[in-house]
Amino acid sequence: MAHFDFQMPVTEEQARKLRVNDTVTLNGTLYGIRDATHIHMFDRGRKTRFDLRGHALIHTAPNVRWAGESEAHPTGYAPICIGTTTSDRMERFTRPLMQEYGARIIIGKGGLREGSAAAFRELGGVYLAVIGGAAALETTWIEQIEDVDLDDLNPESLWKFRVKGFGPLLVSMDSHGGSLYTEVNAQARAKRAAALASLGVKND
């Protein structure tokens, strides 16, 4: 279990060095992406002007306030509360994000499935767990909304955040086939029979 401080973007080698149970803190650029953003980018043929190569994308749709464009708020948006959504719904987009855009890190909560695990293994990427529902804390790690694309989808725009000390985040899926979700799930399912027996359930 090691800790890594990443200045974004990162290389494949840096991503591959990570193992489950390591922790990572990000600095610099972090992109925010959500259901509708993915759907428009991969099902409806829209493209982003952002260069996502080597970057991290967090599953989010933030609460923002229109503050007017200024040096502090180059897009006009000021962050109010930025947190994380359940990743599972966006499972099928991990591979195209990595293959077509060169993304290296997905950040979310609740984990991803086998398709994403395979993409991480083949293309060199990781999934980092942030604590869902801890958005007030997460917001304190965000310095600025630097840019925004596909903003007609607001709040599900493609957001470019500048972050400082974003973490520690737990490596919960790595590029070596490790997944804490698969592990915990298998262990939990192995306890199913005992749990049902404790409830007096017969003939399951």
Binding site residues, other proteins, CB under 8 A: 36, 60-66, 80-86, 88-89, 109-111, 129, 131-137, 139-140, 154-155, 170, 172, 180-181, 183-185, 187-189, 191-192, 194-196, 198-204
Min. distance of Cβ 47 from other proteins in angstroms?
Answer: 20
Which of the residues 3, 38, 59, 73 is marked catalytic? 38
Active site residue 40: no
3-state helix, strand, coil in the chain (%, to 5): 30, 30, 35
DSSP states of 3-45: EEEEESS--HHHHHH--TT-EEEEEEEEEEE-HHHHIIIIIS-
Q: Which is nearer to other proteins, 51 or 193 (CB)?
A: 193
Min. distance of Cβ 147 from other proteins in angstroms?
Answer: 19
Q: Encoding tokens for residue 21?
A: 């149970």
Min. distance of Cβ 186 from other proteins in angstroms?
Answer: 10
**Do the Cβ atoms of 19 and 139 come closer than 8 Å?**
no
Min. distance of Cβ 158 from other proteins in angstroms?
Answer: 16
DSSP β-bridge partners for residue 126: 105
CA angle 41, 134, 10 (to 5 degrees): 50
Q: Which is nearer to other proteins, 88 or 146 (CB)?
A: 88
Q: Which is nearer to other proteins, 55 or 109 (CB)?
A: 109
Q: Encoding tokens for residue 170?
A: 């737990």
Q: Which is nearer to other proteins, 10 or 158 (CB)?
A: 158
The Cα 16–Cα 102 span in angstroms is: 14
> Could you give the residue numbers annotated as active site?
38
